[in-house]
A and B are shown apart, each in its own frame.
Chain A
Amino acid sequence: MSARFIAPVLMGIFMLVLWEGLVRAMAIPPYILPGPILVAKTLVSDWGTLWPALVVTLTITLQALLAAVLVGGALALLFSLSRWIELSLFPYAIILQVTPIVAIAPLIIAWVDDVDVSLLICAWLVAFFPILSNTVLGLRSVDRNLLDLFELYGASRWRTLLELRLPAALPYFLGGLRISGGLALIGAVVAEFVAGSGGRASGLAYRILESGYQLKIPRMFAALVLISAAGIAIYLLLSLISHLLLRRWHESALGEER
């Protein structure tokens, strides 16, 4: 608890004070760089516009993450069951992964009528790969001897999957999930930017764009703060889930207890 918690908080306070101090001392106008106090005030005064935008972005992010878990997890299972399916599909999963989302977002937004659906697809595209590749790795990393043991006692393929491969893959899956959580948010925000610059309004990123056009820089900062806060919250939440699921047995969850 102590140093791990206090050190970053002190550092944060110091940076904020420095920021506010510099802005005041150098009399930087708010449309160039607003101080943290002004940003905080804007956050409160513009809450009426920012909150609904945050809800939109978070909804897309969480839906995309859920879709990533379902599709990524299901594909990983398929891959582990059939080498052929894996060989034929995995390269395409990689292609989807390495293609920058900004490059394909305009296409998807143009093709899909519903903005929210197109944003969801973009965020999902960015988020699903870590879950897929981590889960595939996990399903494969089962102790050889344990596999032999299951064979020895005549366990079916299905039984082995359920009782052995899935639990063994869980830590890997959860690692992928934590990465995907952040990526889903990034994907959603990037897609919102692309959609926003095309005149289709949605979410926090659109508010940032809009504030930029209108030179409402404090509001832009307030929106940025919200995005960061959302990212941190998602990461903490997923870490907590992971910790709760693994704390009884997995090495990764032990560090904090000792």
Chain B
Amino acid sequence: MPLVRVRDVSQVFANGVQALGGVSLDIGVGEFLSVLGPSGCGKSTLLRLLAGLAEPTAGTIDWPQGRPDLGFVFQEPTLMPWTTALGNVALPLKLRGQARSEREARAAEALAGVGLAGFEKSFPRELSGGMKMRVSIARALVTEPKLLLMDEPFAALDEITRRKLNTDLLALWERTRFTAVFVTHSVFESVFLSQRIAVMSARPGRVRSELAISAPYPRTETFGTSADYAALCRLASAQLSDAMAA
């Protein structure tokens, strides 16, 4: 039984733009799924629908086991500048009414989990782009969600930081096995991270093809430089070209 069943979901905005044109997709429990597609194909729109931040114009989104707790990582860090890293990470707990001492302890733990122990008292402006993104991930994970939705979280980062964060993300996922939906327009990233890739066509977006990546975890630099990896990237790239041409 999948965690969520998306069927023929379309989304038309008030200005008449059709972002999604019949997306169908199942996402399994504990799965790491990447959604790969060109810019403007409706990836963010799909994530917002999954998060319940908008209602689809047509089609259905079913949660056979009920709506899970979820975390959301935006394309930008989206931190509140007036509070510290700890305050930002503790926000979801605060909004749930958790007591200060408890939520700060858990937030500190989550920060340590993304390698930011010692930066609890830093304000966002005192952190680098990559560090801010980690804070954002820690905030999404602090509630220990069953489902983590990520919208091109590393798109704005340099290659080195991005690689490091990819590895860290996989380590986190292997530890707790939440369900991960990772939106990206990078073929390499999607192949490196996920168990399955859903390739979307240009707007109005729909899932044109799916690609299973059966390489075992933990995936390390060795996988990233292997011939298998290169072949899979080529395959995914070809599917993306097909989807864009269609």
Please list the residues of chain A having a beta carbon within 8 angstroms of any beta carbon in chain B: 143, 145-146, 148-155, 159, 163-164, 167-168, 170, 248-251, 254
- Which residues from chain B contact A159 at a C-beta distance below 8 Å? 95
Given A143-B78, A164-B80, A250-B81, do A152 and B125 touch, yes or no (CB 8 Å)? no
Supposing A143-B78, A167-B82, A254-B125 touch, asked if A148 and B53 sit within 8 A by C-beta, the answer is yes
A155 partner, pick from B52, B95, B125, beta carbons under 8 A? B95
Query: How distant is A181 from chain B, measured CB to nearest CB, in Å?
Result: 23
Query: Which 4 pairs between the two chains have the least Cβ-Cβ distance?
Result: A145-B78, A153-B95, A167-B82, A145-B74
A146 near B81 with CB under 8 A, answer no
Give the residues in chain B near A170, CB-CB below 8 Å. Answer: 82
- Return chain B residues, CB-CB under 8 Å to A249: 81-83, 123-125
Any chain A CB within 8 A of the CB of B72?
A: yes
Chosen A-B contacts, 7 in total, with CB atoms closer than 8 Å, are: A152-B52, A153-B91, A153-B96, A154-B95, A163-B91, A164-B80, A251-B125
Tally of B interface residues using CB under 8 Å: 21
Are B72 and A152 neighbours in the complex by a CB distance under 8 Å?
Answer: yes
Residues of A within 8 A of B94 (CB): 163
Give the chain B neighbours of A148 by CB distance below 8 A: 48, 51, 53, 72, 74
Task: Flag whether B70 is at the interface (Cβ < 8 A).
Answer: yes
Q: Does B115 contact A (CB under 8 A)?
A: no
Contacts A149-B72, A152-B51; is A248 near B78 (CB within 8 Å)? Answer: no
Other 18 A-B pairs with CB < 8 A, given A148-B72, A153-B95: A145-B78, A146-B78, A146-B80, A149-B72, A150-B95, A152-B70, A153-B96, A154-B95, A163-B91, A167-B83, A168-B80, A168-B82, A248-B82, A249-B81, A249-B82, A249-B83, A249-B123, A249-B125
A139 to chain B, nearest CB (A): 15
What A residues does B123 contact at CB under 8 A?
248-249
CA distance A151 to B78 in the complex (A): 14
Q: Give chain A residues whose Cβ lies under 8 Å from the Cβ of B92.
A: 153
Contact of B76 among A145, A151, A164 (CB under 8 A): A145
Cα–Cα, bound, A148→B44 (Å): 13
Contacts of A250 in B (CB 8 A): 81-82
Residues from chain B with a CB closer than 8 A to the CB of A254 are 125
Chain B interface residues toward A at CB < 8 A: 48, 51-53, 70, 72, 74, 76, 78, 80-83, 91-92, 94-96, 123-125
Q: Shortest Cβ distance from A133 into chain B, in angstroms? A: 22
In angstroms, Cα B126 to Cα A254, docked, is: 11
Distance in Å: Cβ of B96 to nearest Cβ of chain A: 7
How far apart are the CA atoms of A149 and B83 in the complex, in Å?
16
Q: Using Cβ atoms and an 8 Å threshold, which residues of chain B touch A146?
A: 78, 80
Q: How far is the CB of A208 from chain B (nearest CB, A)?
A: 44
Which residue from chain A places its CB closest to the CB of B93 in the assembled complex? A153
By beta carbon, the residue of chain B nearest A246 is B82
When distances are taken between beta carbons in the complex, the residues of chain A under 8 Å from B70 are 152
Which of B51, B76, B82, B83 has the largest number of chain A CB atoms within 10 A? B82
Contacts of A163 in B (CB 8 A): 91, 94-95
Quote the shortest CB–CB distance from B217 to chain A (angstroms): 28
Of A146, A149, A164, A250, most B-chain CB atoms within 10 Å: A149
In the bound complex, CA of A155 to CA of B96 (Å): 8
For A153, list chain B residues within 8 Å (CB).
91-92, 95-96
B123's nearest neighbour on chain A, judged by CB, is A249
In Å, the complex CA distance between A168 and B70 comes to 25
Tell me, in angstroms, the Cα distance from A163 to B78 when the chains sit together. Answer: 15
Docked CA distance A152–B81 (Å) = 19
Q: CA of A154 to CA of B83 in the docked complex: distance in angstroms?
A: 20
Q: Which of A148, A150, A152, A164 has the most chain B CB atoms inside 10 A of its CB?
A: A152
Of chain B, the residue at the smallest CB distance from A245 is B82
**Measured between alpha carbons, how far is A250 from B82 in the docked complex, in Å?**
7
B67 to chain A, nearest CB (A): 12
Contact partners of A151 in chain B: CB under 8 A: 53
- Bound complex: CA A168 to CA B91 (Å): 15
Quick one: closest A residue to B52, CB to CB? Answer: A152
Name A143's closest neighbour in chain B (CB-CB). B78
CA distance A59 to B81 in the complex (A): 36
Inter-chain contacts of A149 with B (CB < 8 A): 72, 74, 78, 91
